[in-house]
Amino acid sequence: MRAIVIGGGPAGLIAAEQLSSAGIKTDIFDAMPSVARKFLLAGIGGMNITHSEPYADFVLRYREASDWLRPILDDFTPDMLRSWIHDLGVETFVGTSGRVFPKEMKAAPLLRAWKHHLTRAGVTFHPRHRWQGWNSKGELVIAGPDGELCLKAEATVFALGGASWSKLGSDGAWTKAFIQREIAVNPLRPSNCGFTAHWSEFLQANHGGTPLKQVAISVTGADGTPFRRTGECIVSSYGLEGSLVYACSALLRDLLLQNKPGPHLHIDWLPNLNGEAVLSTLQAARKGETFSNLLRKKFRLPGITNALLRECLPDLDRADKVAVTRALKNMPVTLTGTRPMDEAISCSGGIDREEVNADLMLTKMPGVFVAGEMLDWEAPTGGYLLTACFATGKRAGMGAVRYLESL
């Protein structure tokens, strides 16, 4: 029996591992010159493979997909993922934030060890082979360096990613072929992305690229979901970006999609002080002290604080201590949109969960399995994205094995 895996990212590679381990001849076709390009690039600054927080909390990071993903994650938990990496000869460690990294911090050593393991197991790699869809005979049409291939396999696992980082292969072009097969595909939208705002030319020129450290962002989702977290983000020339913004990007994106009027988020410049302490400090300020000096000396706030207060609250009376307290603890920010998909770290949307069974096989297309970001789920950064890609890839691969054994 033969299995074909379309897509050589983490989900596709681990699906191939399940198939080859069961003695099934497995071929991986990938459009890029080498596999796992996005995986490698994401790991240049430090490969965050998973997260060490308690598993019950970990699962909840997937929001509305948590209940659906839980059985899949149960079969490949973060601890199991770490053990699997250790078995490849790569050690891991837990960083101060709870994120888990390979000891060498990079993805390349892990990928090399993994590819060597797969090759020894009999997996055949076919780079520069782009899947084009199905022909009238139901065969896979694949364009390669030597021309077009029309292939038939007893089982096929698709792991083509979402639509972010198209230059690395995840361009979302696969959606058209699946929709033509009457598979429900929910729109692919940016996730873990930056957002645009109407900044003045002054702010863009003088403060674009400025980090905001130890601020709190609060958002109320379209469904009433509250979010508040302290961390860091960046005021870019176009709006806001960075880890703190990415953490609430799904809520912000959905507010904008529903055309909810602003403000869309609030910034607390002094999350470690309550309102009474802020007001008391303001009231004790020396007369004649400029507002900028007051913010800098009494609260150790950067110059961008005053600039953003002017942007977001142009009518703020700086002599009104109560109003200034309210502004520092709850500054409103109105956003205008998301940044383009190609700038997003990941995406939401994809093949509807109702289209697949527990083994991630399409019910309308027996023998065809899907994994990774092709499925409709999303997660924040911090190792959650990769863990679910691994887990769904493993589930799809194991499902394909079970399907082939039943033939």
CB-CB contact of 189 with 253 (8 Å): yes
| Domain of residue 178, CATH code | 3.50.50.60
Tell me: do 169 and 252 sit in the same domain: no
- Alpha-carbon span 228 to 267, nearest angstrom: 10
Domain end marker among 280, 315, 338: 338
Q: What is the pLDDT of residues 214-229, one digit of tens each?
A: 999 999 998 898 999 9
pLDDT for residue 169: 83
Domain end marker among 283, 314, 338: 338
How many domains does one find in the chain?
2
List Cα–Cα distances, 155 to 132, 139, 252, 337, 403, in angstroms. 17, 12, 39, 41, 8
pLDDT band per the 50, 70, 90 thresholds, residue 41: confident
Tell me: do 310 and 380 sit in the same domain: no
Tell me: do 351 and 312 sit in the same domain: no
Q: Is 61 helix (H, G, I), strand (E, B) or coil?
A: coil
Tell me: do 250 and 106 sit in the same domain: no
Tell me: do 207 and 81 sit in the same domain: no
Question: Which domain covers residue 47, as residue numbers?
Answer: 2-190+346-406
- pLDDT tops 90 at residue 341: yes
pLDDT for residue 88: 95
- pLDDT tops 90 at residue 390: yes
Q: What is the pLDDT of residues 61-98, one digit of tens each?
A: 999 999 999 999 999 999 999 999 999 999 999 998 89
- pLDDT tops 70 at residue 43: no
Tell me: do 245 and 297 sit in the same domain: yes
Domain end marker among 317, 338, 359: 338
Tell me: do 285 and 397 sit in the same domain: no
Element (H, E) at 224: none
Give the mean model confidence (pLDDT) for residues 398-406.
Answer: 97
CB-CB contact of 369 with 377 (8 Å): no
Tell me: do 229 and 150 sit in the same domain: no
List Cα–Cα distances, 88 to 16, 26, 109, 152, in angstroms. 16, 20, 10, 32
Tell me: do 200 and 250 sit in the same domain: yes
Complete edge-to-edge strand list for the sheet that includes strand 368-370:
124-126, 25-29, 2-6, 155-158, 368-370
pLDDT for residue 110: 93
Mean model confidence pLDDT for the chain? 95
High-pLDDT (> 90) share of the chain, %: 90
Concatenated DSSP letters of 372-402? GGGBS----TTTHHHHHHHHHHHHHHHHHHH
pLDDT for residue 75: 97
Q: Is the dihedral of CA 324, 330, 334, 337 positive or negative?
A: positive
Complete edge-to-edge strand list for the sheet that includes strand 92-94:
50-51, 99-102, 92-94
pLDDT band per the 50, 70, 90 thresholds, residue 281: very high
Entry field: residues in the chain: 407
Tell me: do 248 and 384 sit in the same domain: no
Tell me: do 88 and 181 sit in the same domain: yes
Tell me the CB-side half-sphere exposure of residue 236, using CA atoms within 13 A: 14
Tell me: do 177 and 203 sit in the same domain: no
pLDDT for residue 46: 80
pLDDT band per the 50, 70, 90 thresholds, residue 167: confident
